[in-house]
């Protein structure tokens, strides 16, 4: 249960940032690969067969062109978030479908990087008021699918998205997808820091909310649109698959959100001064904990979910091969969706290694900014890998 925010928490957050500054200068870097891996599963090996969509270059080019025309392309962030689309959605059946997915991602990232949870607290009162009004207008557009008489650039892009996806998508799926998107926006476009909330979430409460804030649930739903293959809840329930598949979807969302928390720790908590992140959530909920303790706990939260995901996905895949289900359309659909969920999990690792969005002075080896001569930006130039993760 959430506890009341106090000034003591603010002191702990300040001390966390001081520990980070010292660690960057003098400490041994952590390896996220080691933190996320188990003796029987190295995350790099688990993801080594992953490949982004073959339509990536075409779709990303179309999204960038359109967003520049509408004035919602962000520099330098646009290149980073646009590149994510063919990773998170490697299996669409056409470039057209991937392009609409990319446009959706561009709209959400534009909101995130201008008025989202990391930026909201830095806005003036007038800017926050304007952001709330713009969010309310955008939500009405998503609810009614009727554009206002005059539209902002992001609303114009949303109308384009709704028109295109409405022509291609299953109507029932679209209704559910837009509800999920609205749920995401209501949590994402607000200050979620402890001071603004007035409370400190438990780690479990934080993880539940973080998965919603991340936008991973709409992203998972878009896998069905990309494939043009839509799961029916009543069919899943009738076959006894609904609860297992839902748990896997939740794990996929949590893995994506929490893995991002660790990759983006410095961007969010040091540069943007946010504390809505798994690392400070672990720190603030553990009296006497250090930043090192919090990093270990955060890494364990991701690692445990990766382990559960692999176990549950293997079990459900085996179930879909059993007589009576293996030869059905539903069995085939579930196997395809399991492949998409696995791709989402793998993309959460592979894309965040590939992007430079989170690179710089870091306590994580994977986030080092590489100097021209090929050495990482550390105090002694030693890219040691992160034996501290084993301690």
pLDDT at 74: 85
CB of 365 closer than 8 Å to CB of 386: yes
Q: What digits encode the pLDDT tens for the residues 267-318? A: 999 998 999 999 999 999 999 999 999 999 999 999 999 999 999 999 999 9
Closest CA relative to residue 340, chosen from 48, 54, 92, 44: 92
pLDDT at 96: 98
CA dihedral 230, 234, 239, 245 (to 10 degrees): 60
* Alpha carbons 146 and 223: distance in angstroms, whole number: 25
Confidence label for 2 from pLDDT (cuts 50, 70 and 90): low
Q: What digits encode the pLDDT tens for the residues 36-74? A: 999 999 999 999 999 999 999 999 999 999 999 999 898
Q: How far is CA 227 from CA 168, 237, 325, in A?
A: 11, 21, 20
CB of 213 closer than 8 Å to CB of 192: yes
CB atoms within 10 A of CB 374: 7
Q: How far is CA 162 from CA 143, 147, 157, 169, in A?
A: 11, 10, 9, 10
Given a cut of 70, is residue 121 above it in pLDDT?
Answer: no
Confidence label for 388 from pLDDT (cuts 50, 70 and 90): very low
Across all residues in the chain, what is the average pLDDT?
A: 90
* Alpha carbons 334 and 324: distance in angstroms, whole number: 14
For the record, the structure tokens of 331 come out as 């069995």
Where b means 16+ CB within 10 Å and e means fewer, 243-265 reads: ebbeebbbbbbbbbbbbbbbbbb
The H-assigned helical ranges of 56-152 are 56-70, 77-88, 95-115, 117-120, 125-144
* Alpha carbons 202 and 280: distance in angstroms, whole number: 11
Within 13 Å, how many C-alpha atoms sit on residue 109's CB side?
25
The strand ranges marked E within the chain are 3-4, 199-200
Closest CA relative to residue 365, chosen from 388, 347, 390: 388
pLDDT at 137: 87
Given a cut of 50, is residue 385 above it in pLDDT?
Answer: no
Q: What is the DSSP letter of 73?
A: -
pTM recorded for the entire structure: 0.90
Q: What digits encode the pLDDT tens for the residues 242-261? A: 999 999 999 999 999 999 99
Q: How far apart are the first and last CA of the chain?
A: 30
* Alpha carbons 355 and 374: distance in angstroms, whole number: 17
CB atoms within 10 A of CB 1: 7
Confidence label for 387 from pLDDT (cuts 50, 70 and 90): very low
């Amino acid at each position: 249960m959430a506890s009341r925010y106090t000034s003591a928490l603010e002191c702990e957050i300040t001390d966390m940032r001081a520990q980070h500054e010292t660690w960057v200068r003098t400490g041994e870097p952590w390896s996220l690969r080691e933190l996320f891996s188990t003796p029987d599963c190295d995350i790099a090996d688990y993801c080594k067969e992953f490949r982004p969509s073959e339509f990536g270059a075409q779709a990303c080019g179309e999204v960038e062109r359109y967003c520049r025309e509408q004035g919602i392309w962000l520099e330098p962030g646009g290149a980073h978030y646009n590149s994510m689309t063919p990773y998170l959605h490697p299996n669409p059946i056409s470039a057209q479908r991937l392009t609409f997915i990319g446009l959706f991602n561009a709209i959400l990232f534009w909101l995130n990087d201008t008025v989202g949870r990391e930026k909201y607290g830095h806005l003036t009162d007038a800017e926050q008021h304007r952001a709330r009004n713009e969010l309310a207008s955008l939500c009405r557009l998503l609810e009614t699918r009727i554009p206002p008489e005059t539209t902002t650039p992001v609303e114009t892009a949303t109308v384009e998205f709704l028109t295109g996806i409405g022509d291609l998508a299953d109507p029932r799926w679209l209704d559910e997808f837009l509800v999920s998107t609205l749920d995401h926006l209501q949590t994402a476009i607000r200050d979620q820091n402890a001071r603004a909330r007035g409370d400190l979430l438990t780690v479990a409460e934080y993880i539940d909310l973080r998965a919603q804030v991340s936008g991973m649930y709409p992203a998972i739903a878009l896998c069905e649109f990309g494939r043009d293959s839509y799961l029916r809840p009543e069919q899943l329930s009738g076959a006894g698959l609904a609860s297992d598949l839902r748990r896997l979807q939740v794990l996929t969302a949590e893995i994506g959100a929490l893995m991002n928390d660790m990759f983006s720790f410095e961007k969010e908590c040091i540069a943007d001064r946010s504390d809505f992140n798994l690392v400070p959530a672990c720190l603030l909920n553990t009296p006497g904990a250090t930043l090192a303790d919090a990093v270990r706990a955060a890494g364990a939260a991701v690692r445990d979910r990766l382990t559960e995901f692999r176990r549950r996905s293997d079990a459900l895949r085996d179930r879909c091969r059993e007589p009576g289900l293996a030869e059905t359309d539903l069995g085939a659909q579930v196997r395809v969706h399991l492949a998409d969920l696995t791709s989402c999990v793998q993309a959460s690792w592979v894309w965040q290694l590939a992007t430079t969005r989170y690179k710089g002075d870091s306590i994580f080896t994977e986030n080092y900014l590489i100097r021209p001569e090929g050495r990482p930006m550390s105090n002694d130039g030693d890219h040691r890998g992160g034996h501290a993760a084993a301690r």
